[in-house]
Amino acid sequence: MSAPTYDLGKLHGGLRLQAHKAASTAEPILQIPIPDQLVLPITQHAGDPAQPIVGIGEHVLKGQLIAEIDGSLGAPVHASSSGTVVAIEPWPVSRRHGENAPCIVIECDGEDRPTDAADALADWSTLLPGILLKKILQGGIVGLGGAVFPTAQKLMEAITCDPDYLILNGVECEPYISCDDMLMREYTHEVLGGARILLHALELDTCYIAVESDKPAALRRLGEVLAELDDDRLVLKQVPTIYPSGGEDQLVQLVAGREVPTGGLPTDVGCLVQNVGTAAAIYDWVVHNEPLISRITTVTGDGVERPVNVEARLGTTIADIVEYVGGYTEHAQQLIIGGPMTGKSVTSDRVPVVKATNCILVMSEAPTIGDEMPCIRCGDCAAVCPVQLMPQQLFWYACADDEAKMRSHGLTDCIECGCCDLVCPSHIPLTADFRTAKARIRELADEKSRAERARQRFEARNERIEKEKQVRDDELANQKASARQAGADAIAEIMKRKQQQDEDQ
């Protein structure tokens, strides 16, 4: 059996936050019934939008492909249940930018009839890695930890880098969120099965399963199943409970002791990180031919009557889910999709559960304990920054809009974990300011590239004009030269003729 090990790398800073996870892990995962209506955004992944391939009025089956990608970065979308497509229209979704996004709306018939599983695979362990990857691409599987990067593309990129380790991320360090914890407890075989499929597809022989020390039940269950499987490629690693140890780059630092280079990916240092939920989704798709049409999500916070983890079909709205688990309390003042540190605040509960939705957090508003005050450079923010930035200095440069200094002090390395905000005695919203500053840097870079393009166009034009002038001048000179030559020739001719005349006389 693989015992939890402690030979870990070091993470700078971080915070020990109050977990708030006990409430939502008290009971098993609750199945949410199929709602009357499903709202499926065509973009539930990082990359280009998928293209709808169903028309309004068309009847679809559970698991049927309804939006596909054609070669670009992205993931296809499948119908979460059977029913009729009633609209393809903008709908409120939980994204950082923009309120509405195009969605396929399905009126469910309640029968939940699946498509014929015609192309179910043979035993995966006999397949070539390339075929497995293609299969994963068709399953609509994306990183379920929150970044929703299309898994198949991530794996393909990883293969070209020839990684050393697969790291399964079961850390889930943000407060309130417990969906991965419950997944690891209840779907342990699926998680570890997914890990074995990934190892096979990547032709790797080490997979670290990283779990935070505050999840004893999940650790115990994983240990039991690992003993059962007796697969020494799978190694369970217990990581300390420190936020944000579950960030991809932070986890690589902890588990492999390697720093992901700035602007790079974990694969640059030989590591590939996958969320435990992603591994389970891969297992369900490859072994049971079930595409990604449902996920486990945590419904919690003092704004809901019954904090619990639920398994809901993608496209079920938050309103439907909360109603099913007992409704809101009087404290329901803000709705956050994701955790309290990095989640996205949304204004309406009409947003659907999508592949990225790991938590539905309904909270009362935190009481404000005083206005924003000037920075006193106490440096507490630098002490907790996991990337070892100096937020106090960055804040100065952001205020001064000093792009060069912001870059040299690593603004683009900020992972927006929010630790600095939480320790700031002056209550400066540092993370929000850095988000704005990053956007500003991008804007400046755009401006610069626009100016550069304009400069190139201008120089090209000057060059062209210069060239044309040169050509004209050359022609003129040629003409002149030939004219002069012609004159000289004519004179010579005349002289010659004259001479001849003279001789004749």
Partner 1 sequence: MEFARREAPYIRPNVGVGSMMLQVLAALIPAALAHVWYFGPGFLFNLIIATAFCVGSETLMMRARGRDPMVALSDYSAIVTAALLAFALPSLTPWWVTATGALFAIVVAKHLYGGLGFNVFNPAMVGYVVILVAYPMEMNLWVAPRMGDIDYISLSVLQTIKYTLTGSLPDALTFDAISRATPLDAMQSGLRNMRTYAEVRTNPMMGDFGGRGWEWISNFFAFGGAWLLVKKIIRWQIPTGVLLGLLIPAGLFYIISPGSNASPGFHLFSGATILCAFFIATDPVSAATSPKGRFVYGCGIGFLIFAIRKWGSFADGVAFAVLMMNMATPAIDYITRPHIVGHSRRSDKP
Residue 372 is encoded by which pair of tokens?
Answer: 């924003």
Contact status, residue 195 vs residue 167, Cβ threshold 8 Å: no
Please state the closest distance from residue 303 (CB atom) to partner 1, in A. Answer: 9
Contact status, residue 165 vs residue 206, Cβ threshold 8 Å: yes
Please state the closest distance from residue 295 (CB atom) to partner 1, in A. Answer: 21
Residue with Cβ nearer partner 1 (282 or 341): 341
- Three-state secondary structure call for residue 272: strand
Contact status, residue 254 vs residue 241, Cβ threshold 8 Å: no
Residue 165 is encoded by which pair of tokens?
Answer: 């380790």
Please state the closest distance from residue 200 (CB atom) to partner 1, in A. Answer: 31
3-state SS, 368-430, equals CCCCCCCCCCCCHHHHHCCCCCCHHHHHHHHHHCCHHHHHHCCHHHCCCCCHHHHHCCCCCCH
Please state the closest distance from residue 331 (CB atom) to partner 1, in A. Answer: 12
Residue with Cβ nearer partner 1 (312 or 335): 335
Please state the closest distance from residue 57 (CB atom) to partner 1, in A. Answer: 31
Please state the closest distance from residue 113 (CB atom) to partner 1, in A. Answer: 32
Please state the closest distance from residue 172 (CB atom) to partner 1, in A. Answer: 16
Please state the closest distance from residue 410 (CB atom) to partner 1, in A. Answer: 4
Helix 276-288 vs helix 179-186: crossing angle, to nearest 10: 40
Contact status, residue 422 vs residue 15, Cβ threshold 8 Å: yes
Q: Using CA atoms, how far apart are residues 62 and 111, in angstroms rounded to an integer?
A: 9
Residue with Cβ nearer partner 1 (124 or 243): 243
Residue with Cβ nearer partner 1 (75 or 354): 354
Please return the burial class of 45, using the count of CB atoms within 10 Å of its CB with bins 0-12, 13-18 and 19+: buried
Q: How many CA atoms lie within 13 A of 221 on its CB side?
A: 18
- What kind and span of H or E run contains 26? none
Q: Using CA atoms, how far apart are residues 63 and 81, in angstroms rounded to an integer?
A: 7
